[in-house]
Chains A and B, each alone.
Chain A
Amino acid sequence: MKLLIKQGVIVNPDFKKRADILIENSQISRIEENISEQGADKIISAEGKFIFPGFIDLHTHLRTPGREDEEDLLSGSLSATKGGFTTLLSMPNTIPPIDNYEIALRIRKEAEKIGLVDIYPVGAITKNREGKEISEFGFLAEAGCLAVSDDGFPLKETSLLRRALEYAENFNLLVISHCEDLSLSKGGLIRESPLSAEWGIPSVPEISETVDLVRQIEVARYLNSRVHFAHISSKRSAELIKRAKEEGINITAETCPHYFTFSLKEIEESGFSPLYKVNPPLGREEDKLALKEALKEGVIDVIATDHAPHTYLEKEVDFKSAEFGMIGLEFALPLSLGLVREGFLSLEDLTCRLSYRPAQILNLKDRGYIKEGLRADLTIVDTEREQLITKENIFSKSKNTPLLGKVLKGEVVYTIYKGKIVYSSSR
């Protein structure tokens, strides 16, 4: 099977150029200005479109096993293809948690059978995610895990954090860390702010994230270990990460589209719609701006979705009873393109944040860049096309997003995974 993509603009982290791409046997076999159509089994015209290395999401909740009513591997895979993602990490806060070889392997195998996107289960750092004993990292790595995380919870005990970082290094696993001081965040629903004071809403202070971040940076510095920080949400955190990186500490960080798209303003204007309830909570306008700057400067390495599907009943309740989280796989591209339109990022930067850096962080050498010999994971994008977000056109099983009814600019037109077209926009 030979797939030929004609006349698209290839967007690598370091350059853009118009070229044809020939795909053979799931790999990119040739990139040239003009490749003859002769012998191609299928031709995609990408005139006026941009071709990115397939997006890689370091932070997805696929709810499998245990909450397949919210999302399962198939619906999650479909949602990913629609969003242009070809690789993703599935978080272990499942029932039971992904804390052993058998569960991890099962997810990896089932996802392979579906074959729409490369799904790597993330192993739980601690058995049963209880924050006590360390899981069998070696076996988890053998089952196909690239990373471990107790996402949703911080590692409260610093000695445990230390051992987890050391032990993970043993098996070349990435540790993804959730920063939150639970004694400060307890009961909180939105960021502590003039809005929380005015409305008397239980709140989470900014220091809940930053105090824990500083603690974890110090452990990483001391051990000279690597840590990746999940869903960074505040200006101050970005400053602390910048400082640590300047000191040469081996850390990386992600933020999510909702943190650079929404703020407390939307919470207030929506009349406290629980669809804006996420953890960590949305920040102020100045946090939003600082996160955009941090993505521009590379202080924050990655845009990850924290795709968190929830059923209707878990979200359409009062703000306090509602679960935390919103779905994100299908909106990451258009929301990130917003940063390009606002002048914060170039398209090359976008490749960096959505593909290249995630691949580097995961040490996946066969993807994250478009060149001959690498795996043919490609996302073809129409940056100008507009889409109305409705429940009907969301592929995820869950519809919990405040973007319903909104028009977003920029859409994936083709997603190619291992050389196969796994998604094409029907329009």
Chain B
Amino acid sequence: MGEWQRKHLLGLKDLSREEIEVILNSAQAFKEVSEREVKKVPALRGKTVVNLFFEPSTRTKTSFELAAKRLSADVVNFSSSGSSLFKGETILDTLKNIEAYSVDIFVLRHSVSGVAFYLSQRTTSSVVNAGDGQNEHPTQALLDMFTVREKLGSLENLKVAIIGDIYHSRVARSNIWGFSKFSSSVYVCAPKTLIPKYFDNLPCKITYSLKTALSQAQVVIMLRIQKERMKERFFSSQREYVKYYSLNEENLKFLPPEALVLHPGPVNWDIEIASSLKEKVSNLILEQVSNGLAVRMAVLYLLAEKRSYEVID
């Protein structure tokens, strides 16, 4: 098992397969912690984690907050939606101001792609990207991969289908980078309007046919679709989207029986996934949530460890 050398976790694009494995293995250990009666470990005692959320989020923020608390870190939440200018302060000023309290790790969520990278180059603290615009959401992809590895035993040579609003999805991008590192083939599937031009530069295959995407796939990741995209002319109606891109009893038969259906949540039932499949897929989607906690504990732990080595050096 390799060692973790990075100061930040900004995305899966730049991570090697070995680095992803380090996180997943560490998450395995932390998952066991969450199953104990006493769920807290002192790994991050005396460390400060700040959740810096510039975009509304409850699920991801809760997950990171709980992860930090279970590691015994001090956690502060800073939320500000809307403009990046908070009381006339630039986002960099905001970060620097909080950094002055000797923050170890910033968990950053922002509506603009690339902001995590931008700020990581301008801070002495570590940055965990908790979602930047439409770019990456690495811990979501890591928890997807963790769930898949746990269920199927390996991430090697799988067919992974990602279906839905690829255009606007940071989850899609992180999963493409992540799964492709393990020689898995990733298919993205959506109406052409919801896949950006030049997307063939990413390590994935593009298809507009749900059948092609699903056939013999071991993993299916369904993405949330927002109704506002209709106004923006990405598709014409809910019923048409559902007819061609929804997962239901009928097209489920293209999948092998052991195939996994994942969703980053919250699910729009009867849009991305037929509600008749609710019983069948819900358990795994909830397992994703609890795995998310373990993955985030692992990430915070590895970054904090790396920082303490630096101090000793």
Contacts and interface: CB of A to CB of B under 8 A. Distances in A.
A316 interface: yes
Contact of B114 (A192, A197, A203, A319): A319
A272 B170 contact: no
Contact of A271 (B121, B135, B170): B121
A197 B85 contact: no
A196 B92 CA distance: 23
Interface string A310-346: 0001001111110000000000000000000000000
B274 interface: no
Contact of B196 (A197, A271, A317, A320): A197
Interface string A159-198: 0000000000000000000000000000000001110111
A75 interface: no
Interface in B104-125: 110-115, 117-118, 120-121
Contacts of B91: 317-318
B168 interface: yes
B173 A200 contact: yes
With a 10 A CB-CB cut-off, give which of B88, B113, B167, B202 has the most chain A CB atoms: B113
A318 B113 CA distance: 9
Contacts of B134: 199-202
Given A194-B201, A316-B90, A201 B114 contact: yes
B196 A272 contact: no
Contact of B202 (A197, A271, A272): A197
Interface string B196-240: 111101100000000000000000000000000000000000000
B83 interface: yes
B77 to A, nearest CB: 20
B133 interface: yes
Contact of A197 (B111, B120, B121, B197): B197
B28 interface: no
B84 A318 contact: yes
Interface string B169-208: 1100100000000000000000000001111011000000
B110 to A, nearest CB: 7
B58 to A, nearest CB: 22
B110 A192 contact: no
A184 to B, nearest CB: 12
A202 B76 CA distance: 31
A317 B84 contact: yes
Nearest to B133: A200
Interface in B57-90: 83-85, 88, 90
A196 B198 contact: yes
Nearest to A322: B84
Contacts of B120: 271
Contacts of A194: 198, 201
Pick the most buried of A202, A205, A317, A318: most chain B CB atoms within 10 A of its CB: A318
A319 B168 contact: no
Contact of B85 (A203, A205, A317): A317
A318 B122 CA distance: 13
Contacts of A202: 134
A192 B118 contact: no
Contact of B201 (A192, A198, A201, A316): A198
A208 interface: no
B115 A318 contact: yes
SS class, residues of chain B in contact with chain A = loop
A197 B170 CA distance: 11
Given A199-B114, A201-B134, A313 B90 contact: yes
A273 interface: yes
A313 B84 CA distance: 11
A199 B85 contact: no
Contacts of B83: 321
Interface string A242-274: 000000000000000000000000000001110
A196 B196 contact: yes
A409 to B, nearest CB: 27
A201 B168 CA distance: 9
Contact of B92 (A203, A205, A272, A316): A316
A200 B115 CA distance: 12
Contact of B197 (A205, A271, A273, A321): A205
A201 B197 contact: no
A199 B135 contact: yes
A198 B202 contact: yes
A12 to B, nearest CB: 45
A196 B196 CA distance: 9
A97 B242 CA distance: 50
Given A197-B197, A201-B113, A321-B83, A271 B118 contact: yes
A272 B112 CA distance: 11
A110 B85 CA distance: 35
B217 to A, nearest CB: 23
Contacts of B167: 200
Contacts of A319: 112-115, 118
Nearest to A321: B84
A300 to B, nearest CB: 26
Nearest to B195: A197
A196 B13 CA distance: 14
Contacts of B85: 313, 317, 321
Interface string B235-277: 0000000000000000000000000000000000000000000
Contacts of A199: 113-114, 133-135
Nearest to B177: A198
Contacts of B92: 316-317
B202 A200 contact: no
Contacts of A198: 13, 173, 198, 201-202
B112 A320 contact: yes
B8 to A, nearest CB: 12
Contact of B90 (A203, A272, A317): A317
A199 B134 CA distance: 7
Contacts of A313: 85, 88, 90
B198 A200 contact: no
Nearest to A267: B114
A377 to B, nearest CB: 41
A318 B112 contact: yes
A192 B198 CA distance: 8
A318 B198 contact: no
Given A197-B201, A272-B114, 4 more contacts: A271-B117, A273-B118, A316-B90, A317-B84
Interface of B: 13, 83-85, 88, 90-92, 110-115, 117-118, 120-121, 133-135, 167-170, 173, 196-199, 201-202
State the 8 A-B residue pairs at the shortest beta-carbon distance, nearest first.
A200-B134, A272-B114, A197-B198, A194-B201, A197-B196, A320-B112, A321-B84, A318-B112
5 contacts: A198-B201, A201-B114, A201-B133, A317-B90, A321-B85
